[in-house]
Structure 1
Amino acid sequence: MAHDLAALLGPHGVARVAELAGRVDRHTVGRWVADRRLLRPRQGVVVLPPAWEDWRTRALAAGLATDGTLSHVSALTVWRVLDDDNGPVHVSVPATRRASRSRGLVVHRVQDLVSDQLDRSLSPRSPARLQTAGARRSVRAAVAEQSNGSAAP
């Protein structure tokens, strides 16, 4: 049976291998990776090769692989406070959780983690799926504080 990989992986071309389990055999996924029809950039995550060039896809893959929260520069990029989608993806995870670091991924372990919820389109106005650290007002206030050298309300 032929599969449309783009339809299988969704609009950003990324998915957890576990999410594909009900639709395709894990050996099939392994064969697609071996044949380079899919990439496995992070443990438990597969991506369409052309999609990997898009920062949003890399950010989604990082969030899916670590079950973490986009943070630091990556959170500011999602909230459009910064325009930095060429650097590594930053995620934060609870200090008690292990998450493997890899090329293009910076993992921060934190004691307290407060998150805003985003969906896979990385739109701040969408229902929960992927998370970014900090609220929009808090992020903008922090940036304003840094720029003005004054405390934010």
Structure 2
Amino acid sequence: MKKKGIAMLTNSMDGFVLKQINYNDYEVSFRRWLVHQIDDGKMSLDEVRDRFHLNPQEYRRIISKWQERYSDELHLSLSLMNSKERADNKQLEARIKELEKQLEYAKMKDIAMNTLIDVAETEFKISIRKKAGSKQ
């Protein structure tokens, strides 16, 4: 609409209609091919959305449904770890290594003690270990 040579903007959205897409119209072979492309990493979800003009609000839900039906792979929705969780994970891994070293040291100490007891019993003929079934 023009008024005295000035272009006027209107709030009317005439001519702009949100097109409803019926996702059941896509052939099963296309769905399988698309899921395979996504699973193999050949296409990202955003590339699929843009290339095939999928609804920006619905495309993730539709593709996840198709993946459930047509994918050979198991899809788990695991979120990525944030930096705090990664730091906690590194702390836990360090703690595990520390405990493994302590366990190895305890095992070596046990072997050394048993060897010491064996040598003492044979060399000095001293009964150190408790006999099974004996009463104190």
More helix by share: 2
Larger radius of gyration: 2
Using the size of structure 2 for normalisation, the TM-score is: 0.29
More strand by share: 1
